[in-house]
Amino acid sequence: MRTDFRHEIPTDAKVFIAGHRGMVGSAIWRRFEAEGYHNLVGRRSSDLDLRDRDATFDFFAQQKPDYLIDAAAKVGGIYGNDAAPADFLSDNLRMQVNLLDAAKEFGLTRALFLGSSCIYPTTAPLPISEDSFMTGPVEQTNFGYAIAKATGVFQVQALRQQYGCSFISAMPCNLYGFGDNFTIPGGHAFPMLMRRLHEAVQAGDDDFLIYGTGTTLREYLHADDVADASLFLLRRYDDGAPINIGAGSEIEINKLVAMMADVIGFEGSFSHDLSKPDGVKSKIMDSGRIRSLGWEPKIGLSDGIRLVYDWFLANQDSYRR
């Protein structure tokens, strides 16, 4: 890995942020705006279906972006992924293949593909390093999404090898933030827990049911930190190997629930539905490579929970559910 790579992105460069209305994409948009970038481009899925190859190529031909950040994805929690693996595989494959092929075809300066820690095998040594990629089977409850994201890494590598494209891929850990999907039961654990705890307080419940044993460990990073890392990597990283973006620590789900309960004001007891799956015991990633380049996350989990809950309260009429 090169540590001397430097790339300056002009503030008038046209940057296409695919998925700019999602949790991660909107955070990236805010980060770029805060840095002075004023030529950002985004499209709602209702205006541009990235699964449509012709429509995607037409968009690139018309807009002529200089940079691409692929934050577009069909995402869901353990239950949504397990129930519809074909949809998660097909939709994500088509979006990322179309975007990266178009980026190559129209000669973009740089492109960043955002994947997921789920590309790594369940048997990978902890903390999970980038070298564990493709050394074993992925978690079966979300294999469709995982295989799609793993394919994105390979596409970046293939485009670099065959065409010399300066494209990169980054693998964030579990994310949370403003604009998250608070769907029950199809969402990710963090927003689903927050909404359920909020509704338990509103209903006056004296017991809160945690799905599974609650003993699994998860690494959580605020989307604003991923946005900061995305800009950092476009400026400082140029390698075909995926690079991890993690918080550097993990928390047991039971303890996460307790932290949320303190913020939200739930004062009851907790019980467990042991019929629900836990998923893998731990997924903490080794983020040593990005840290060696000089990047560190800025938002601690306790502060992050309070920030997201404040956003949730202010957006109860419009959050995704």
Helix axes 53-63, 85-105, angle to 10 degrees: 30
Phi, psi values for residue 95, rounded to 5°: -60, -50
One-letter amino acid for residue 25 of the chain:
G
Contact 40, 33 (CB under 8 A): yes
Cα angle, residue 139 at apex, residues 137 and 145 outer, rounded to 5°: 100
Q: Which of 79, 120, 145, 220 is catalytic?
A: 145
Helix (H, G, I), strand (E, B) or coil at 210: strand
State how beta strands 207-211 and 269-273 pair: parallel
Can you say which residues are annotated as belonging to the binding site for substrate?
196, 218, 278
Using alpha carbons only, give the angle 22, 258, 308 rounded to the nearest 5 degrees: 25
Task: Give the Cα separation of 144 and 93 in Å (integer).
Answer: 10
Determine the Cα–Cα distance for residues 72 and 26; give it in Å rounded to an integer: 11
How far is 152 from 114, CA to CA, in rounded Å? 9
N- to C-terminal Cα separation, the chain:
41
Would you list which residues are annotated within the binding site for NADP(+)?
A: 19-25, 114-117, 149, 172-175, 188
* Residue 120 a catalytic site member: no
Angstrom distance (rounded) from CA 283 to CA 241: 19
Active-site annotation, residues:
145
